């Protein structure tokens, strides 16, 4: 937390090259977003914004990489391939909220991998390699598109066949677009991405056990990578994606089976590269909320409707809803704008995406427990603030 606070709150060293590259990347990504918006907006709406971005980016034009991107040279073409991941949706064969892009998933996996590695006493190169191996672990999907797990796991031999095809496509379509200064590094990140590995003295990649990775190979000279930790972070991200949608009430066999299968991979006490992966999964599981909070949620429901937890039937309660008072008294913006008392009139006014996001299932319920649990958790968190 000290490092994070220092990074966020500390005064930036504007002459530092790392800071300048980061700021230039930030400004250029904003410029790319404006370029995409230009096609669906009237020009006068973007003139002022574009002038401001161009003025901000002017101070970084001495950076060679930025020059190549703006002039749309080879690195630009490679970046456009990566940008496709922005538009590819995870779990694309099943309804799910919130929707997650492959690009967003990749960053989430990278952040998880980086944070999990901080307690292992890893060297600087290992931390660096872990983050970027996780960030690029789905890079082949820029050209192969997302292949859902049930298809990949259809037979025992199919995962290996798909991996071989992905490698061929990457070598044919992505490798020629990579600049020579980072080509070998990117290929090291995406080959054997889920294996613990190092680079030997001969430059060849070697698969190693975690004990050796944590011991004699935990040095910058070996370029170590916790590939199995990347795989565990990938599974945690997939679990969170499935579990969140299920808790919001948008579910399917794919999501339920996915959550169940991931839990089965990591039984309680099983460690991956020194990390107990089952612990964060169990904390995320929607069925494992504390009994006190669960009881609290049912009481809120009972305040709005007389609810039988056995039969699932409900009957209206006369008078003003205590639930509405609860929301108004305990909840502050921006959360309040998304919440409604669950009367028939309120449900008719609720936009469809908000119904989906809070677990509204018209065919099964006249109200839903899941959104109320969400409200209770949010209210407890907000109420606990000074």
Residue 42 has which token pair?
């009237």
In angstroms, the CA 249 to CA 368 distance is 8
Contacts 24+ apart (CB under 8 A), 324-328: 326/300, 326/379, 327/375, 327/379
Q: Which of 315, 298, 293 is nearest to 377 (CA)?
A: 293
The beta-strand segments (E) located in 157-222 are 197-199, 205-207
pLDDT score at 15: 85
R_g (Cα) of the chain, nearest Å: 25
Contacts 24+ apart (CB under 8 A), 214-222: 214/120, 214/121, 214/273, 214/274, 218/121, 218/122, 218/123, 218/126, 219/123, 219/125, 220/123, 220/124, 220/125, 220/126, 222/125, 222/198
Residue 314, φ and ψ in degrees, nearest 5: -145, 155
Residue 175, φ and ψ in degrees, nearest 5: -55, -45
Q: Which residue has the tokens 């990566």?
A: 82
Sign of CA dihedral 298, 304, 308, 312: negative
Judge contact between 60 and 20, C-beta under 8 A: yes
List the chain residues with pLDDT less than 50.
286-386
Return the exposure string of 364-378: e unless at least 16 CB atoms fall within 10 Å of the residue's CB, then b.
Answer: eeebbbbbbbbbbeb
Beta bridge partners of 198: 206
* Residues ≥6 apart with Cβ < 8 Å to 93: 148, 254
* 3-class secondary structure per residue, 287-304: HHCCHHHHHHHHHHHHHH
pLDDT digits (tens, 9 = 90+) for 2-45: 777 877 788 888 888 999 999 999 999 999 999 888 888 888 88
pLDDT digits (tens, 9 = 90+) for 81-99: 999 898 888 888 888 888 8
Cis peptide leading into residue 41 (ω within 30°): no
In angstroms, the CA 41 to CA 61 distance is 27
Judge contact between 338 and 286, C-beta under 8 A: no
Length of the chain: 386
């Amino acid at each position: 937390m000290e490092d994070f606070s220092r990074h966020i709150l500390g005064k930036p060293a504007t002459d530092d090259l790392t800071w300048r590259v980061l700021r230039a990347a930030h400004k250029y990504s904003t410029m790319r977003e404006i370029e995409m918006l230009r096609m669906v907006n009237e020009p006068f709406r973007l003139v002022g914004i574009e002038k401001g971005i161009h003025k901000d980016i002017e101070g970084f034009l001495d950076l060679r990489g930025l020059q190549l991107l703006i002039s749309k040279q080879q690195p630009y073409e490679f970046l456009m391939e990566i940008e496709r991941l922005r538009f590819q949706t995870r779990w694309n064969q099943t309804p799910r909220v919130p929707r997650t892009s492959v690009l967003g998933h990749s960053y989430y996996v990278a952040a998880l991998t980086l944070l999990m590695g901080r307690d292992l006493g890893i060297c600087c190169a290992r931390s660096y390699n872990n983050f970027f191996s996780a960030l690029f672990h789905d890079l082949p999907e820029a050209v192969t598109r997302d292949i859902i797990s049930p298809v990949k796991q259809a037979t025992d031999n199919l995962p290996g066949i798909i991996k071989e095809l992905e490698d061929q496509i990457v070598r044919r379509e992505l490798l020629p677009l990579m600049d020579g200064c980072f080509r070998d590094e990117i290929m090291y990140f995406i080959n054997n991405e889920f294996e613990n590995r190092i680079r030997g003295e001969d430059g060849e990649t070697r698969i190693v056990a975690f004990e050796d990775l944590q011991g004699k190979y935990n040095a910058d000279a070996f370029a170590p990578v916790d590939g199995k930790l990347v795989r565990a972070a990938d599974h945690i991200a997939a679990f969170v994606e499935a579990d969140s949608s299920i808790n919001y009430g948008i579910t399917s066999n794919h999501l339920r089976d996915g959550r169940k299968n991931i839990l089965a991979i990591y039984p309680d006490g099983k460690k991956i590269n020194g990390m107990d992966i089952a612990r964060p999964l169990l904390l995320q599981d929607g069925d494992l909320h504390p009994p006190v909070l669960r009881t609290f949620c049912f009481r809120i429901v009972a305040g709005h409707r007389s609810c039988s937890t056995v039969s699932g039937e409900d009957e209206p309660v006369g008078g003003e809803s205590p639930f509405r008072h609860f929301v108004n008294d305990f909840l502050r913006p921006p959360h309040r704008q998304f919440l409604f008392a669950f009367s028939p009139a309120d449900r008719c006014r609720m936009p469809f995406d908000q119904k989906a996001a809070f677990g509204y299932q018209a065919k099964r319920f006249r109200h839903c427990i899941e959104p109320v649990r969400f409200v209770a958790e949010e209210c407890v968190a907000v109420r606990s603030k000074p």
